[in-house]
Amino acid sequence: MAKFHINNKGEPGKCRAWSGDCPFGGDEVHYGSEKEAYAALERKYGGAFKRAPKPLKGARAENIAKNSGDPEELLQVARGLGIFGAEKIALALAKNPATPAEALMEARSKTAMALTGFVELEQHPNYPLEKLTGEGAYMKVQRLSPEEKVELSKNDEVGDELAQTLSFEGSLEINRNLVSNPNNKVSSKFRGSLAMRNKILIGSAASSGRWPTSGDINKRNVYYTNKVQHMSGGSTLTQEAFTSEDMIEAILYTPSESTASEILEAEKNQSLKLALVQSMVRNPKLSAEFKAQYQRDIRAQADELNKLAQELGNQP
């Protein structure tokens, strides 16, 4: 006679172990039917435990995928999908306007392959833009007019995959939208990568407040240190992360005082630091107090240098 126990998920399950070898316990935690196991759970926890709905499959699943307006039913269908032989059901879910985002993503997660029925899931209006795969992003962008692509690039839900595909359009307006929007889901890494590939976007990327990152600033600082050591024969020169001109433009547009401060504090070259401060004070997004602090520091350093120059000039 089949026995049922409570498995490690806290649900009744059929016991397939040899007598006495079940990892979930002995006869005291085994029951003659699934119904008895549920009753034991209710006695233990004082709540009603409902049997988990079984995944829907086959012709019934396809019919529900096409015609149902019930989000829970559609999610059941998505959970029952396999990898092969399920494209028709996936396509039906993709075409049903009632399919919720959770069901669309559940169905898409069944395979990473670019099967048409599964990629179509990503074209549904409810599919989150930031979750698009490369194939889904490509299909979406190819179906848009030039004007629609520009509008899409302004969307706060755009993530890296979609941004990558849109950036291939080569439109300066689209790329500016992607790097300058502080609210979208585009990563700082991709934002900086796009700006560095197209230097005209540096100001736009910096204006988002999410680039340059501490890592980018540190790379610049490491480059300068290595350059000095290299000139004295002490190290191998590494490639520069971004140039002095890039830094001057970044500090002119960033709305982040902490980023501006990091840029200034990392710079060891005093003449470049002066140029950075001069650029920073023209940035309308930074507070007057913040600007004044660095202006005072620069003036104090300049006074010290002038004093030193006078002392050296007075030496016989």
Q: pLDDT tens digits for 52-75?
A: 566 677 888 999 999 999 999 999
Pairwise CA distance, residues 172 & 134, whole Å: 21
Name the residue type at position 4.
F
Token duo for residue 255: 């709305």
Residue with more model confidence, 19 or 309: 19
Q: Across the chain, what does the average pLDDT equal?
A: 85
pLDDT of residue 46: 66
The answer on pLDDT for 176 being more than 70 is yes
Average pLDDT over residues 277-298: 90
Which of 80 and 165 is assigned the larger pLDDT? Answer: 165
Backbone angles phi and psi of 278, in degrees to 5: -60, -35
Q: What is the mean pLDDT of residues 78-107?
A: 89
- 201-216 burial, b for 16+ CB within 10 Å, e for fewer? bbbbbbbbbbbbbeeb
**pLDDT, mean of residues 294-304:** 74
With a pLDDT cut of 70, the percent of the chain lying above it is 83
Cβ-count burial 88-107 (b if 16+ within 10 Å, e if not): ebbbbbbebeebbeebbbbb
Give the integer Cα–Cα distance in Å for 132 and 245.
35
Helix axes 288-314, 270-280, angle to 10 degrees: 150
| Higher-pLDDT residue of 209, 226 | 209
Q: Is residue 316's pLDDT more than 60?
A: no
Report pLDDT for 85: 65
- Are 255 and 207 within 8 A, CB to CB? yes
pLDDT of residue 53: 60
pLDDT at 312: 65
Q: Is 70 exceeded by the pLDDT of residue 121?
A: yes
Q: Which of 26-40, 49-63, 100-114, 270-284 is predicted least confidently?
A: 49-63
CA distance 272 to 74: 61
Q: What pLDDT, on the 0 to 100 scale, is given for residue 237?
A: 46
For residues 31 and 5, the answer to whether their CB atoms sit within 8 Å is yes
User: pLDDT by residue (tens digit) across 215-228?
Assistant: 888 877 665 555 55
Q: Residue 64 — left, alpha, or beta (φ > 0 → left; ψ -120 to 50 → alpha)?
A: alpha
Give me the torsion for CA of 125, 129, 134, 140, rounded to 10°.
Answer: 40
pLDDT tens across 187-207, in order? 999 999 999 889 999 999 999
Helix H, strand E, coil C: the string for the chain is CCCEEECCCCCEEECCCCCCCCCCCCHHHCECCHHHHHHHHHHHHCCCCCCCCCCCCHHHHHHHHHHCCCHHHHHHHHHCCCCCCCHHHHHHHHHCCCCCHHHHHHHHCCCCCCCHHHHHHHHCCCCCHHHCCHHHHHHHHHCCCHHHHHHHHCCCCCCHHHHHHHHCCCCHHHHHHHHHCCCCCCCHHHHHHHHHHCHHHHHHHHHCCCCCCHHHHHHHHHHHHHHHHHHCCCCCCCCCCCCHHHHHHHHHHCCCHHHHHHHHHHCCCHHHHHHHHHHHCCCCCCCHHHHHHHHHHHHHHHHHHHHHHHHHHHCC
> pTM for this one?
0.71
- Average pLDDT for 251-268: 93
DSSP bridge pairs for 6: 12
